[in-house]
Structure 1
């Protein structure tokens, strides 16, 4: 039963973060909120280290699956960050 509570907490952090858009002048506050969301979702790695190079196509299925899951996590966080910026900063 602990997982639904954690998901609710993550959603609360995300919604708090998504409401306050990065406009340029508020970077420090925005980045602090981003780190809060990433910590809650255990995805700080998305801003602390680059995505590893993709394994060769003939790598073991488990290696490919692990890298794909990591890629999805990085992509999700990139979308979260872009979605929390004003349109002017996207360009």
Structure 2
């Protein structure tokens, strides 16, 4: 019997430490998409079912809560310990909102600094092309 493909090891290699928020979030979305649980990050939280709800509605809510819990666990497991402690009582949606508030501005500032350096880079007349191109590639990546 063939083993199913798991992408969770990319999260082990790329734990969230702060400055890598954009890359980490991209990896979270990839893993959850592969596990068919990415829909929980869309922000459309299901409301708890009432007593008069149909069995299908109750089942759908239980599946949603289970998937949300699994997404939350994947997120917490792939973050640094200090961030785990800070977010352990939140669900996946609240974690993402809080992390965006914490790190998205820093990521934008860092990208701006890199782009500024990229656009300001000039090759000196008579200098070799290769080091300049490598420096430019470094800024782009």
Under TM normalisation by the shorter chain, which class is it? Answer: 0.7 to 0.9
Q: Among 65, 71, 76, which residue is 2:70 paired with? A: 76
The offset of 1:63, in angstroms, is 1.4
Aligned-pair Cα RMSD in Å: 1.7
SS at match of 1:21: coil
1:17 aligns with one of 11, 29, 47 = 11
Secondary structure in structure 1 of the residue aligned to 2:8: helix
TM-score normalized with structure 2 length: 0.54
TM-score, normalised relative to structure 1: 0.80
- Conserved in 2, the CA contact under 8 Å of 1:18 and 1:84? yes
User: Aligned partners of 2:51, 2:73: CA distance in 1, in Å?
Assistant: 26
**Equivalent residues in 2 for 1:1-91 (5 A)?**
8-9=4-5, 11=6, 13-90=7-84, 91=86
* d(CA) in 1 for partners of 2:12, 2:47: 30
- Partners in 2 of 1:18 and 1:50 — Cα distance? 28
Deviating 4+ runs (over 3 angstroms): none
Larger of the two Rg values belongs to structure: 2
Which runs of no fewer than 5 residues in structure 1 stay unpaired?
none
